[in-house]
Amino acid sequence: MAAKSSHTMTIPTDAELVQAQADLWRHSLSYLTPMALRCAIQLGIPTAIHRHGGAASLIDLVTTLSLPPSKAPFLSRLLRLLSTTGVLASNEVGIYSLVPLSYLLVDGVLVDGDASQAALVLCLTSRYHMEAAMGLADWFKKDIAQPLPSPFEDVHGATLFEESMAVLDPESDKLFNEALAAHDHMGIGTILRECHGLFNGLQSLTDCCGGDGTTAKAIVKAFPHIKCNVLDLPKVVDKAPSDGLVNYVAGDMFHSIPPAQAIMVKLVLHFWSDDDCINILAQCKKAIPSREAGGKVIVIDMVVDSSSPMFETQLLMDVAMMVCTRGRQRDENDWNAIFMKAGFSDYKIVKKLGARGVMEVYP
């Protein structure tokens, strides 16, 4: 017979029941928030408002977007949800305007040199991501041999950013890669302005998993004396523009990383398991000089923090990693354990920038 729980729940009051029911509606229907955002991007609402001088009425939008006039009352309801959830601003006379979030979704506008984030929203709200999340319960019940596939791999039989995804759906694969580039490239301007001490006095740097070199080039532009290597897989380096600003190296970070005074791993480790991170960081350690000679690894990644106003966002990003990759988001204790297991002696969180942290790790 099951042990009787000592935690008997007291029967909710009427006020609690009414609140609980409304909360359940909200939780069950919250998927409509990203769907409304997706719809806004697909219709081109942020771009239309921008082209309208930054503010537009319902009728302006119906006309500019060439929607049937009969859809005006429905668009008004979508705009009301978008305004209430912080995607747009609206005033009492029904004028809709952009906020920083929707400014990031305007077509063709560079924000601090970075591309629109529309591809990221379209990627995260794609049917592939939705179906992977819907497969979570089945995935939990399966006792699958290691290496454990992600729910995305389990449901689709394909891995994000790999050939299998390109074979499954070339158009979606292209969108997902655009989304990754938009996500990864955004923010280096802020890091350079807020954390220039990271790069001051540095003679050489290897950007490990540096992709097409966008981040490394921004660093070299701000600190021209730094000799910068960009390590990435041959398939990426083969397509990189060789303009002489940085030195591209085709290779595998699990085998060897080009030596430099500092190695940077920006938005890389969250994609990998703890054991993989320890192996990657051990390779980084082999590639740098002693701490006295200025050797360090710069890790830029999320630092989950329950006291942060971005905690819920960080948890959503963590579950997104669980659904789609074999990686995870980590808190400071997780980072500390990984750094020590990889053979480092000390680390410092140089700065927290939004949901992310900039860390220096010392040999």
Ligand X SMILES: C[S@@+](CC[C@H](N)C(=O)[O-])C[C@H]1O[C@@H](n2cnc3c(N)ncnc32)[C@H](O)[C@@H]1O
354 forms part of the interface with ligand X (CB under 6 A): no
- When asked if residue 254 is in the footprint of ligand X (CB under 6 A), the reply is yes
- Shortest reach from residue 73's CB to ligand X, in Å: 43
Q: Which residue, 96 or 271, has its beta carbon nearer to ligand X?
A: 271
Tell whether residue 173 is a contact of ligand X (CB under 6 A). no
| Interface size with ligand X, residues (CB under 6 A) | 18
The answer to whether 59 contacts ligand X (rule: CB under 6 A) is: no
Q: Which of 16, 138, 252, 275 binds ligand X (CB under 6 A)?
A: 252
Instruction: Please report whether residue 20 would count as binding ligand X according to CB under 6 A.
Output: no
The residue from 119, 160, 186, 209 that contacts ligand X (CB under 6 A) is: 209
Position 236 contacts ligand X (CB under 6 A): yes
Interacting residues with ligand X between 270 and 299 (CB under 6 A): 271
Query: Quick one: 81 or 180, whose CB is closer to ligand X?
Result: 180
Q: Cα separation of 56 and 90, whole Å? A: 9
The residues pairing with 299 across neighbouring beta strands, listed in sequence order, are 265, 359
Integer Cα distance of 362 and 294 in angstroms: 9
Of 50, 129, 217, 266, the one binding ligand X by CB under 6 A: 266
Pairing of strands 356-362, 346-353: antiparallel
Cβ nearer to ligand X, comparing 82 with 361:
361
Q: How many CA atoms lie within 13 A of 298 on its CB side?
A: 26
Kind and range of the H or E run holding 194: helix 188-194
Q: How far is the CB of 215 from ligand X (least distance, A)?
A: 5
Question: Per CB under 6 A, which region of 54-62, 82-90, 220-228, 252-260 contacts ligand X?
Answer: 252-260
Q: Does 112 bind ligand X (CB under 6 A)?
A: no
Instruction: Report if residue 185 touches ligand X, rule: CB under 6 A.
Output: yes
* CA distances in angstroms from 334 to 2, 6, 66, 329, 357, listed in the order given: 36, 34, 51, 9, 13
The CA distance from 3 to 160, in Å, is 45
CA dist 171 and 316 (Å) reads: 26
Options 56-64, 148-156, 206-214, 341-349: segment touching ligand X (CB under 6 A): 206-214
**Across the strands, what pairs with 98?**
88
Q: Is 196 a catalytic residue?
A: no
Nearer to ligand X, 129 or 185 (CB): 185
Per-residue DSSP letters for 33-79? HHHHHHHHHHHTHHHHHHHTTSEEEHHHHHHHTT--GGGHHHHHHHH
User: Residue 243: CA atoms inside 13 Å, Cβ hemisphere, count?
Assistant: 9
Torsion angle of C-alpha atoms 50, 42, 130, 124, degrees rounded to 10 = -40
Residues identified as active-site: 270
Footprint of ligand X (CB under 6 A): 180, 184-185, 209-211, 215, 231-233, 236, 252-254, 266-268, 271
